[in-house]
Structure 1
Amino acid sequence: MTDAVDFKELQRRMDGAITAFKGDLASLRTGRASANILDAVLVEAYGSKVPINQVANVSVPEPRMIAVSVWDKQTVGAVDRGIREANLGLNPIIDGQNLRIPLPELNEERRRELVKVAHTYAENAKVAVRHVRRDGMEGLKKAEKDGDISQDDSRRDSERVQKLTDGVISEIDRLLADKEKEIMHV
């Protein structure tokens, strides 16, 4: 019997979807400052768009404040523009080569919007996991059609792929529920 599907590879790809989902969730602000909020911000600098961490230091000096220390004085305006255009609801205050970003208290409406964004991130992660499952199932069908594995082996491995998928989807749902609780906590 040959192994038609590399389960370790499927697991690695599904774990990658979870890791990306965790990164997306970390970028959602909940009410306290986190340097991860600005991870997705791209700044127009040096002729191309670069992540903010390549042109500045991001720190959290207070629970409701983010400080951005820009390395090059010429890029301060671009960093300010990048943060404002990232649709994070943040308004930086320029102070020389530094930007201070106060985090306003989240109102109920904004919290609900953030929960919707979290659900979108979760759905994207689930779609990625389902694509990995589809690839695994297609590999099994091809191996069965080519005569590499028996129908019984194919069915057993299909159930194993589905069980792996269900476990990862439930992990995504658990992470989403935790984040939703964190966002809605006042």
Structure 2
Amino acid sequence: MSDAADSKELKRRMDGAINAFKSDIASLRTGRASANVLDPVMVEAYGSKVPLNQVANVTVPEPRMLGVSVWDKQMVGAVDRGIREANLGLNPIVDGQNLRIPLPELNEERRKSLVKVSHTYAENARVAIRNVRRDGMDTLKKAEKDGDISQDDSRRESDQVQKMTDEMISEIDRLLVDKEKEIMQV
């Protein structure tokens, strides 16, 4: 930990947790259509489960409508099934090789449940960041115990790791507040 590479590694891992959190909350449906809504959809294709974006193209032709253009005509039924089984509350309308997916209005109850889901995603990201902090602190304690760094250096670097952790968690909290406002906006 005493060299800059280790703190860069901790920062990279914490950034990874934040990026995963951003991806998770981007997939939460708000009032308007977003192609990210279909990111969690897996389709049974050619004998295995693959993400929807590997068998079809997702577009947003209207604010409350998604369009899915399936590349292989034989995959239309599997894509339709995959979207319905993803428990997103969406009902595709098959139109030849394309699917149209109208997005229903969100009621108050659904908005509140989406906020709870976003809080779950945020807590998972916080836990991931705390695990990275724990790993960094353990490395520092071991280096100090082995005599590789002094107690003062260990204390200074521990403070840096804690400061980085606090910054990352406040970034998650900020993103969560923004997403909450977006979800609750009518």
Could you tell me the TM-score, scaled by structure 1's length?
A: 0.97
Q: How far has the Cα of 1:157 moved from its partner?
A: 0.8
Quote the residue 1:135 is aligned against: 135
CA-based RMSD: 1.3
1:1-186 equivalent positions in 2, closer than 5 A: 2-3=2-3, 6-186=6-186
Cα-to-partner distance string for 1:75-110 (whole Å, 9 max, x where unaligned): 111111111111111111111111100000000000
- 1:49 counterpart SS class: strand
Question: Is residue 130–residue 165 contact of structure 1 (8 Å, CA) maintained in 2?
Answer: yes
Q: How far has the Cα of 1:111 moved from its partner?
A: 0.1
Q: How far has the Cα of 1:9 moved from its partner?
A: 0.8
> Aligned pair count?
186
Task: State the alpha-carbon separation in 2 of the partners of residues 172 and 33 from structure 1.
Answer: 24
Q: How far has the Cα of 1:3 moved from its partner?
A: 2.8
Question: Is residue 26–residue 36 contact of structure 1 (8 Å, CA) maintained in 2?
Answer: yes
Cα-to-partner distance string for 1:24-51 (whole Å, 9 max, x where unaligned): 1110110100001111111000000001
- 1:43 counterpart SS class: strand
Task: State the alpha-carbon separation in 2 of the partners of residues 2 and 21 from structure 1.
Answer: 29
Question: Is residue 4–residue 139 contact of structure 1 (8 Å, CA) maintained in 2?
Answer: no
The amino acid across from 1:48 in the alignment is: S
Among all aligned residue pairs of Structure 1 and Structure 2, give the percentage whose two residues are the same amino acid. Answer: 83
Gaps of 5+ in 1: none
Task: State the alpha-carbon separation in 2 of the partners of residues 4 and 172 from structure 1.
Answer: 24
Question: Is residue 4–residue 140 contact of structure 1 (8 Å, CA) maintained in 2?
Answer: no
Q: How far has the Cα of 1:2 moved from its partner?
A: 4.5
- 2:120 counterpart SS class: helix
- 2:143 counterpart SS class: helix
Question: Is residue 33–residue 103 contact of structure 1 (8 Å, CA) maintained in 2?
Answer: yes
Q: How far has the Cα of 1:160 moved from its partner?
A: 0.7
Between 1:134-143 and 1:81-90, the stretch displaced more is 81-90
Question: Is residue 93–residue 99 contact of structure 1 (8 Å, CA) maintained in 2?
Answer: yes
- 1:115 counterpart SS class: helix
The amino acid across from 1:82 in the alignment is: G
Q: How far has the Cα of 1:155 moved from its partner?
A: 1.1
Q: How far has the Cα of 1:5 moved from its partner?
A: 7.0
Are residues 32 and 4 of structure 1, via their aligned partners in 2, closer, same or farther at CA, if it must alter by over 3 Å? closer
